[in-house]
Amino acid sequence: MKKINLRTIRLAASALILTGVIGSPIVASAAANTASTTINASVGASISVTTTATVSLSLTPTAGGVVSSASDTVTVNTNNATGYMLTLADGDANVNLSSGGNLIGAHSGTQASPTALGANTWGYAVANVGGFDS
């Protein structure tokens, strides 16, 4: 009987293992189970305000007075559940238009009680509010 040494056995075993690892196919498998998943995400409130253009008025004063008007469309979009409030406001208590020594007084009519625009006054109207443009 032939004597096999331990080194030869180790070498043969290593070669066999290496051949098995290299020769075996790589198999990827996924579970076939499916399930429903609920994902919750918190999305902060956002708002966007767009306008179509700059509103410009070109007036040349006359003895009889001049009336001019221009309009714009403001669009507001929000995902806030409570909505939004769009307001038009003056930055201070003075509602007159002034430039240097020139002054144009504010019209006294309101959205709730509109009146005709008086001479030498300025004002604004929101379409379909308070009877304007209805």
Give a yes or no: residue 66 inside a domain.
no
pLDDT for 18:
64
Residue 103's beta-bridge partner residues? 98
Whether 88 contacts 63, CB under 8 Å:
no
Q: Is the pTM of this model over 0.75?
A: no
Instruction: Name the H helices within the chain.
Output: 6-23
Residue 110, in any domain of the structure: yes
Residue 35 lies in a domain: no
* Alpha-carbon distance values, 3 to 12, 24, 67 (Å): 15, 32, 120
Does the residue 121 lie in any domain?
yes
In a domain, 96, yes or no: yes
Question: Residue 30 has what pLDDT?
Answer: 59
Q: Is residue 31 part of a domain?
A: no
* Model pLDDT, residue 48: 95
Owner of token pair 């001049």: 66
Asked if residue 109 belongs to a domain, the reply is: yes
Please report the pLDDT score of residue 50 as a whole number: 94
CA distance 15 to 54: 82
Mean pLDDT in runs of 10 for the chain (134 residues)?
Answer: 66 69 61 79 91 86 84 92 88 88 88 83 83 66
Q: How many domains does the chain have?
A: 1
pLDDT for position 42: 86
Give the span between the Cα atoms of 13 and 38, in whole angstroms.
51
Q: Judge whether 117 lies within some domain.
A: yes
Domain span at residue 130 reads 83-134
**How buried is 109 (Cβ within 10 angstroms: 0-12 exposed, 13-18 middle, 19+ buried)?**
middle
